[in-house]
Structure 1
C-alpha cells in the first residue's frame, strides 16, 4: 500500500502523455514544413550544409566560458549551505575564488572572446 501513491502518479503521468500526444496528432498541422529538417547550430542557420564544414572558434570559446562559470555556480551552492560553519577563512577563500574567476571573465572580455563580430561577416557572404 505504500507504493499506491507512486503507482497512481505514474498512471496519471502516462494518461496525460497519451492525451497530449493524441491531441497533437488530431489538431496539429498535417502538411510538412519546408524547413523542418534544416540543420542549425545555436540558433544560427548554417550557410554550408556540408557535414565537413567547420564552426567559428567563437562557439568553442563561448562553450568553454560557459563551463567555467557553470563550475563556479556548482561550487557556490555548497559553499552557501555550510557558510556559517566555515567562518572568516571560508569567506576569504571563496572571495579569492570569485576574484580569480572575475579576473578570467575580464580577461576574456578584453581579448574579445565575448564579441560576436564574425556573425556580420557570415551574413555578408
Structure 2
C-alpha cells in the first residue's frame, strides 16, 4: 500500500507521455522531404555519407577537452564534502588545482582549440 501513490503517479505520467506522442502524430505537420532524413550532428552537416570519412580534428580536440574538464570538475564534488576537515591546506591545494585548470583552459583558448571555423562546403 505504501507504493500505491507512486504507481498511480507512474501510470499518470506514462498516460500523459503516450497522449502527447499520439497528439503529435495526429496533429503534427507531415511534409516529407529528402533533407528531413539527412544525418545532421553537432551543428555541421554530413558531407560524405561513407563510414570511411575523416572527421575534422576539432571534434577530437573538443572531445578530449570535454573529458578533461568533466573529470576535473567531478573531482570538486568530493572536495566540497570534506572541505571542513581539510582546513587551510585543503583550500590552498584546491586553489592551485583550479588555477592550473583555468590556465589550461586559457591556453587551449589562446591556441584556438575552441574556435570552430570550417570551410564552407555545400551539399551536392
Query: What is the count of residue pairs matched by the alignment?
Result: 122
Deviations 1:45-102 (A, max 9, x none): 1222222111011111011111111112211223223322221111111112112212
Corresponding residue for residue 81 of structure 2? 81
Unaligned runs of 5+ in 2: none
Match of 2:61 in 1: 61
Structure-1-length-normalised TM-score: 0.85
- Matches of 2:116 and 2:30, distance apart in 1: 38
Unaligned runs of 5+ in 1: none
* d(CA) in 1 for partners of 2:12, 2:19: 10
Name whichever of 74-83 and 93-102 sits farther off: 74-83
After the TM superposition, which parts of structure 1 deviate over 4 Å for at least 4 consecutive aligned residues?
none
Give the structure-2-normalised TM-score: 0.86
Distance in 1 (alpha carbons) for counterparts of 2:28 and 2:110: 48
Query: How far apart are the structure 2 equivalents of 1:4 and 1:90?
Result: 47
